[in-house]
Structure formats: structure tokens, C-alpha cells
Amino acid sequence: MSSHNTSTKEQDYLIESQGYDDHFHEHHHGDKYQMNFLTTYIFSQDHKMIARQFLITGIFWAFIGALMSLVFRIQLGFPDADLSWLKPFLGKWIVVNEAGIGKLEPEFYYALVTMHGTIIVFFVLTAGLSGTFSNLLIPLQIGARDMASPFLNMLSYWFFFLSGAVMFYSLFLSTGPFSGGWVAYPPLSALPQASNGSGNGMTLWLVSLTLFVVSVLLGGINYITTVLNLRTKGMTMWRMPLTVWAFLVTAILALLSFPVLASGFFLLIFDRSLGTSFYLSDIFVNGQILDRIGGSPILYQHLFWFLGHPEVYIIILPAMGLVSEVMSVHARKPIFGYRAMVYSIMAIGFLSFIVWAHHMFMSGVNPFLSNFFVVFTLIIAVPSAVKVFNWIGTLYGGNIRMNTQMLFCIGFVSMFISGGLTGIFLGNSAIDIQQHDTYFVVAHFHIVMGVAAFFGMFAGIYNWFPKMFGRYMNDTMGKIHFWITMIGAYAVFGPMHYLGMAGVPRRYYRFDTFDAFKGFDDMNKFITIAAAITFLAQLVFIINFFYSMYKGKKVTTPNPWKSNSLEWTTPIEPGHGNWPGKIPTVHRWAYDYGKDDREFIQQHIPLRDGEQHSSH
């Protein structure tokens, strides 16, 4: 370390002399939170352990979700191939005909598509992403001992776990899991007789996601309360790292939108089991007229997308926060336009509540109403562009460390630009007439909120792995992971834009039987092969993750990245309560990099004589 930077000893001295004494260890003989195996690893109330639980559960679900996508990609790329080799895994969902050719059951194809969406959107990119990093970073970066309510925090994880267990069980039902699309529109979702998956599969889907809503709300209450009430001395709102800002706004969005989804689900449950007609009207099933009248399926869509649109920002905002922080640290520069970043997070959060009907342009809503939603949808491009500009501004002239997490940040910005631009196409209700429900939409949202959010998550994992496990991940394997994923993701989703513009609809079982779409066989094959290679690269990540957890290079300094924020002032493996003695007091914002010839100045270091606060 250079002479400008404080050594570990000096740091401890600083925290002891300047820090805030909350009498943390006074009545403290052994820690009641970490007494035995069960309370340490299973029913832990420590935010860092809960974060790791969320992360590992998220990785498990990501693996399942990705496997599913591979199966349906094989079906789409090679509709005539013999799939009997999948029979050991999928059992009766592969039907082998007399000629010995195994075929994927069309019903199960829909179930796979549905489950892939549900799992990735909710279990991986909501719980796995913001559950992990909000839990890990909020208390550490604002200087708190733990969350406001460690108990509710534990419940939040276990509700998520339970929700996952129910969904996992539904995969093995004899009628299969729900198969009506991850959005679960009625009437398919409301009538158990509508399809195989609409029976018990849908019931379990609803149970699972209702539990999930509980988990998100418990988590969200905690995150907001902690950020607003438990910041350490000197940590004003405008000194918080952007990660914390992003988690705060994310939690607010979740808290306002998930209850509405719950309402929508409850009405759906009533329609399914009590004979009400909130969403049902004039329906024929198997040639029979139902006596359900007076309901409106559009009502469900309104309730669903009132959550659904904020949900995409619930997914992407934490990724944006992680990227901002990691980028600034590894470009060795203050984040460009800190306040603009915060205001654009807020603007995105606010606007996300008044654009939901752009998912419904083609469902029969009033076209004049659509105009309103078009305008606000396009306005979201403004704060998004501000953020992109600031990320590029942060990189410009920086002393960039090209490590894995930085690569993923740059990859994130690339994905966000590509996916964001196609959003402007889709946000126009007129263009949407052609594009809706095509592969153009699939490509758009996979790039902008799927791949981009994953990249943000990867950047976060590579960057904070040392804090979570006291070891580094392997950087070479990380770079291999990055480059294959980056190229692979474009190879998968790039051609899909083309398919979509040609009108190829999403969710179809096979295309070679349609005159209009059978010319794309080779393209579909290409996409499938690219997807398989990209999937293999994720195995590199998983091996790297678990290998490094036990065998990775050990971290020897508390601040391996020479970063400013408070989590790096804790011991290498922080115990419960994060700081062994006093909590550090904060004297400056989180982005004093390269100030007055000092490479970095941590937040708890007081101003020197005559030193001015960085203007931001």
C-alpha cells in the first residue's frame, strides 16, 4: 500500500478513536445469533449469512431455469431430432413413437417456457439478485450492525425457500407444472379444466408466488427501514454508495407493487375455487358454455402489469447500483454525476408505475389511453440514457483495472444500450402492432433485463466474493466465463430480433410446419447451439464459485480492491455485528478516488486540514 493509504492498524485506531460506540459487546458472552450449527447456517439471523443463502438458492434456481431453456431450445432448433436420450431426465414428457423417435410433449414444452420465465424473473433475478446484495451490502455499507429486524429477515429467506419448494414440487406433478405463460393470464390460469397445467400446477404456482410476495415484502420492509433509520454517524443520504440508493428504491418499488400482484392473485384464486367471475366472461371450454359472466380478463392484466412493470426495474436497479459501484472502484475514479445517478434512479422508479399498459397495447385497451403510456414509456429512456452516459463518463480517462467484475460492468452497459434501444421500438403502440408477442420482444427483454441483470449480478459476485467467503474467485476462469457469455448472449438474442421483425411468434412449439416461418430453420439451429455453448460457460462460473469458496486464493488484506465504502473496514471475515468494536463514523462520500493525489480515501477517514469536501 502506498504511504497515502492508511494501514490496517491505523484503520482500527481510526474506528476506535472516531467511531460511534453503541455498547455493542457489553452484554455479550458468546453471540446468541451464532451459537450452534442450526442458528449459524440454517436459521441464521445474520444478514451476511442470509445473503449467502439467497445467493446459493438463486444459483440453484438459475441452473434449473437455464436447463429448461436448453430443452426447449433443442426442440426449437432441432424439431425432428430424436430426444429419447432425455427420457431418463424428463420421463413421460418424452414420448417415444414406434420408430423409436423421442418427442417432447407439446404440453410440457409450454410448461418449460412458463417455468423458465417464472423461475428466472422471480427466484433468480428478484430474490437471488436483490435478496443477496441488499442483505449483504445495506448494513455493511451504511455502517449498521445488522438489519432493522434480523428475525423478519430470516423469515424473508425462509418464505422464499418455501415458495421455491412448492414450485419445485409442482414440476413433478403428473399433470405437470403450470403451462399458461409466466404472466398467468386468465382464462387459461383461471379454469382448472382449461389445460393440464391449469389444474394442480396452477394452484401450486399461485401458492408458491403468494409465499414469494410475503418474502419480498418482509425483505423490503427491512431494507427500507434499515437504510432510513440505521445509518451510522455522518452517513447522510448523499454520502451513501449508489448500491444502497438502488436497493432503497428497489425495495420501495417492491413494497408498492407486490401487494397489487397479491390482490390480482387473490381474485384469481377466488375465480378458480369459489366460482366468482372477476376475470371470466363468455367462455367455451370443450364446446360447453360456462355460466361465468361479467368478468374481465383485462382486469387481471392491469393488476399483473402494475406489478409487472415495476418488477423489471426491481430486477435492473440493483444491477445498476452494483455496476455503478464496481465501475467506480475499478476505474479508480469517482462515479460520474453521482447526483444525476440518484435522481435518475428515482425518476426510473417513479415512471415505472405509470407505464404498465405498454404491455397491453394489443389486448384491447383504448388506443387513446395507449398514447399516454407511450409517452411515459419513451420518457423512461431519458433517465436511462443519463445513467449510460454517466457510466461511460466514469470509464473515460479512468485507470481501469480490466478484471472480471469490470468486464461484466462494461458488458452490462453494452447489453443495456442494445436492449434499451429496442425498447424504444416496442414502446410505440403503432410499431407494437407488428412486434408484439414476437421474438423481437423476447430478444428485447432478455437482453435488457435478463442478460444485463445477470451481468450486474456477476459483477457483484466477483467483486464481493472476498467479503462473502474470505477468498478470491479465479480471475482467469472469470474472464473465460465473461467472454463466452458476452459473445454467446449476443449470438443467441441478436438473431431473435430478426426473427421477430419477420413476425415469428413467441411460445410456438415448432415453426417448420408454417410456410411463413420455416425459412428460419438454420437460424434457430444457430441460436440453439449458441445457447448451449453459453450454458457451458455458466458451468465454468459455477465450478469457479464453489471451488473458490473452499480452495480460492485467500484474502489477506481487509480492503483488497482499495475501495472506499465501509464494508471494507470490517475484518476480513466479519462476525455478527460486522465491526468488532465501534462502528466507524463517516466523514465523506463514497467516491473520493484520485483526490488530491491520494489514490483513494475511505469514507471513515476525516478530512485533512484545509481539505474540502468533493463537490457532488
Partner 1 sequence: MAFVQMVDKNLPPSRYQAVKFGMWIAMVSITMMFGAFTSAYLVRKPVGNWYEFKLPVEFFYSTLILIASSFLMEWAYRSYKQQEEKSYKVGIFLTLLLGIGFIIAQVIAWKALVAQGITIDLNVSGSFLYVLSGFHALHVLGGIGALFVSNFVAFGDRYELTMLRTLRLDLVRQYWHFVDILWIYLLVF
290 binds partner 1 (CB under 8 A): no
How many residues in the chain? Answer: 616
If the CB atoms of residues 264 and 423 are measured against partner 1, the closer one turns out to be 264
Binding mask 11-30 for partner 1 (x = CB under 8 A): -----------x----x---
295 binds partner 1 (CB under 8 A): yes
Q: What is the DSSP string of 363-417?
A: TT--HHHHHHHHHHHHHTHHHHHHHHHHHHHHHTT------HHHHHHHHHHHHHH
Residues 206-225 that bind partner 1 (CB under 8 A): 217, 220-222, 224-225
302 binds partner 1 (CB under 8 A): yes
575 sits in which H/E element: none
**Phi then psi dihedrals of residue 76, to 5 deg:** -75, -35
CB of 360 to partner 1, least distance (A): 13
Distances (CA, A) of 303 to 16, 122, 299, 429: 52, 17, 6, 20
The C-alpha cell 492508511 sits at: 6
Residues 251-270 that bind partner 1 (CB under 8 A): 255-260, 262-264, 266-267, 270
CB of 225 to partner 1, least distance (A): 4
CB of 594 to partner 1, least distance (A): 35
226 binds partner 1 (CB under 8 A): yes
299 binds partner 1 (CB under 8 A): yes
If the CB atoms of residues 262 and 315 are measured against partner 1, the closer one turns out to be 262
277, 363, 428, 614: which one contacts partner 1 (CB under 8 A)? 277
Considering only CA atoms, which of 615, 473, 509, 455 is closest in space to residue 112?
509
CB of 285 to partner 1, least distance (A): 17
34 binds partner 1 (CB under 8 A): no
* Cα 342 from Cα 352, distance rounded (Å): 15
If the CB atoms of residues 173 and 255 are measured against partner 1, the closer one turns out to be 255
CB of 234 to partner 1, least distance (A): 14
C-alpha cell belonging to residue 252 = 420501495
Based on the number of CB atoms within 10 Å of its own CB, is 32 exposed (0-12), middle (13-18) or buried (19 or more)? Answer: exposed
Q: By CB under 8 A, which span of 86-94, 299-307, 445-453, 516-524 interacts with partner 1?
A: 299-307
If the CB atoms of residues 34 and 149 are measured against partner 1, the closer one turns out to be 149
593 sits in which H/E element: strand 593-595
C-alpha cell belonging to residue 604 = 471513515
306 binds partner 1 (CB under 8 A): yes
Q: By CB under 8 A, which span of 55-63, 159-167, 302-310, 459-467 interacts with partner 1?
A: 302-310
CA atoms within 13 A on the CB side of 136: 28
235 binds partner 1 (CB under 8 A): no
278, 305, 520, 600: which one contacts partner 1 (CB under 8 A)? 278
If the CB atoms of residues 45 and 524 are measured against partner 1, the closer one turns out to be 45
If the CB atoms of residues 230 and 537 are measured against partner 1, the closer one turns out to be 230
End-to-end CA distance of the chain: 27
Most distant CA atoms of the chain, gap in Å: 86
C-alpha cell belonging to residue 319 = 444491477
Residues 6+ apart with CB under 8 A from 601: 564, 588, 592, 595
152, 501, 502, 542: which one contacts partner 1 (CB under 8 A)? 152
* Cα 431 from Cα 369, distance rounded (Å): 16
If the CB atoms of residues 264 and 478 are measured against partner 1, the closer one turns out to be 264
| Binding-residue total with partner 1 (CB under 8 A) | 43
CB of 163 to partner 1, least distance (A): 17
If the CB atoms of residues 124 and 303 are measured against partner 1, the closer one turns out to be 303
CB of 464 to partner 1, least distance (A): 25
Specify whether the CB–CB gap between 583 and 566 falls below 8 A.
no
42, 67, 92, 275: which one contacts partner 1 (CB under 8 A)? 275
40 binds partner 1 (CB under 8 A): no
Residue 571 CA to chain centroid, in angstroms?
28
25, 67, 285, 294: which one contacts partner 1 (CB under 8 A)? 294
Residues 6+ apart with CB under 8 A from 615: none
CB of 304 to partner 1, least distance (A): 11
* Sign of the C-alpha dihedral computed for residues 167, 168, 171 and 173 taken in this order: negative
Specify whether the CB–CB gap between 279 and 295 falls below 8 A.
yes
363 binds partner 1 (CB under 8 A): no
C-alpha cell belonging to residue 443 = 430478444
CB of 135 to partner 1, least distance (A): 16
Q: Which residues bind partner 1 (CB under 8 A)?
A: 22, 27, 148-152, 155, 217, 220-222, 224-226, 228-230, 255-260, 262-264, 266-267, 270, 274-278, 293-296, 299, 302-303, 306
